[in-house]
Structure 1
Amino acid sequence: MGHEANAINRPRILIVDDEAAIRRFLRTVLDAEEFSLHQAETGHAALAAAAAIRPDLILLDLGLPDLDGVEVIRRIREWSPVPIIVLSVREREDDKVHALDAGADDYLTKPFGIGELLARMRVVLRRSIRQAPEPICRIGGLEVDLPRRRVTVDGVEVQLTPTEYELLRLLAVHAGKVLTHSQILRQIWGVAHVEQPHVLRVNISNLRRKIESDPTRPRYLLTEPGVGYRLKAE
């Protein structure tokens, strides 16, 4: 298990993949990053390991030999908020949506860049360590002051409608995490509006006009095509 003998304070990473080559690759890459590494080859083994090890982060493949990865996510979410990043060859948008709606924190399609994987891992680990949202979310020139319900861009206050603010607040609290269309619609507008994505698109467009210097090339409020939106994290 690499450096686990002296890994008391290192983040515990559970790698769940039935392909030995992928597990070896991830272990080689992550071993240099001072993590405590554990692995599982099946869905049932992943569930057992998640309960026994209590990892700080799970890297999960969806194509497991016994349980589908989405089912693994659902079962873990019944009792644990542990961050889960899906690493999968499945590129279809509905696969990503199903995994994220089930409770995954992020989704990377294989093959992926190591730099991007490590960056996504840092974001979810920081967020889980904080647990409660920071009172002020700062991303570049964008600042969302949650207690004061105040938004500034490059020091200039931005006037948002109540709905626009609640949308930005939701994304800020989960900065770096992909939120699906249905998750956002359910949180902001309620279950009755889950099948009305145009409502979300209009508000995203209006929000970008107010916080982005170039709304057609957003720096802060990023689109995950066919899936949802993400507020960029530092």
Structure 2
Amino acid sequence: MIENRISDRAKILLIDEDTSISYLIRRAMEKENYKIYIAGSGKQGMEMSTGVCPDLILMDNKFSDMEGITLIQWFREWTDCPIIILSERSSYLDKVEALYAGADDYMVKPFHEKELAARIFSALRRRISAGAHTYYEAGNLKVDFTKRQVLLGGTEVHFSPVEYRIIESLALNSGTVVTYQMLLEKIWGPYAEQNSRILRVNMTNIRKKIESSPLEPEYITTIPRVGYRMLESQAEKGGMQMLENQTGRNMKVMEGQNIRNGIRMMA
């Protein structure tokens, strides 16, 4: 079923100064049901990342405003989402440097859009496989990590990207205390102001949406001056059946669709 595909709701941040390449990649990946956000510089990519909270990052390793390696290292200070480098640089030294800095994969331009889609899918699959659970469930609350979806009593509850990232972080560590500092760095990056006010505002909104009595929370409790603890999940480890349909879909090769020197050649 389409709702079980790994691409559904997955957000990709693309950072590239070449607008023509960005346009072609966006069109190709939107066909795969990914949601694409585009940044035209390294600094813009930094700014967008903390608001978008991407599931995967595609980026060049050469920018006019900063070094690509610096950007990779900055991301690795606060997020473990997969990073795939898309570069014209084919030297093995460039590849080795990027991979050691924290990139997960490296593709040299030009490349076929279906190969890019396959590598994105593979990176997201590995990330899900590394997790202990595919979903969180306690009482009437369920958080589906593969669909990025929250259900309360079987009804979907809508969250902003930041609100979802907070509840996801707590759900993945249910039963244990997650400190304010850990959440601030996880959601807003290592240079976020160590001021929990913004966190408290978001938590108030989250509780209004999932708690029957926000002042006496059932699911997310406050540990004074320390952080938050989410009610321990009763969910069992889930499987990966959702990958089967998507694997077949991504194996289909569309003739005449290449990304070559930034231009997709149409037959």
Q: TM-score, normalised by structure 2?
A: 0.46
Runs of 5+ consecutive residues of structure 1 not aligned to the other structure? 1-7, 135-234
Greater relative CO (CA pairs within 8 A, separation 6+): 2
Q: How does 1:137-156 map to 2 (within 5 A)?
A: none
State the partner residue of 2:243: none
Deviations 1:179-214 (A, max 9, x none): xxxxxxxxxxxxxxxxxxxxxxxxxxxxxxxxxxxx
State the partner residue of 1:100: 99
State the partner residue of 2:43: 44
Q: Which runs of 4+ in 1 moved over 6 A?
A: none
State the partner residue of 2:13: 14
State the partner residue of 1:87: 86
Deviation at 1:133, TM superposition (A): 8.1
Change (3 A) 1:9 1:118: closer
Report how many aligned residue pairs link the two structures. Answer: 127
Deviation at 1:114, TM superposition (A): 1.4
Verify: 1:30 aligned to 2:40, yes or no.
Answer: no
State the partner residue of 1:59: 58
Change (3 A) 1:112 1:133: farther
State the partner residue of 2:130: 131
Deviations 1:151-183 (A, max 9, x none): xxxxxxxxxxxxxxxxxxxxxxxxxxxxxxxxx
Percent of aligned pairs sharing the same letter = 39
Q: Which has the larger radius of gyration?
A: 2
Change (3 A) 1:133 1:117: farther
State the partner residue of 2:248: none
Deviations 1:37-63 (A, max 9, x none): 101011111111111111001110111
Give me the CA root mean square deviation: 1.8
Match of 1:86, SS state, is strand
State the partner residue of 1:140: none
Distance in structure 2 (CA, Å) of the matches to 1:89 and 1:133: 37
State the partner residue of 1:74: 73
Q: TM-score, normalised by structure 1?
A: 0.52
Runs of 5+ consecutive residues of structure 2 not aligned to the other structure? 1-6, 134-267
Deviation at 1:132, TM superposition (A): 3.7
Distance in structure 2 (CA, Å) of the matches to 1:56 and 1:88: 20
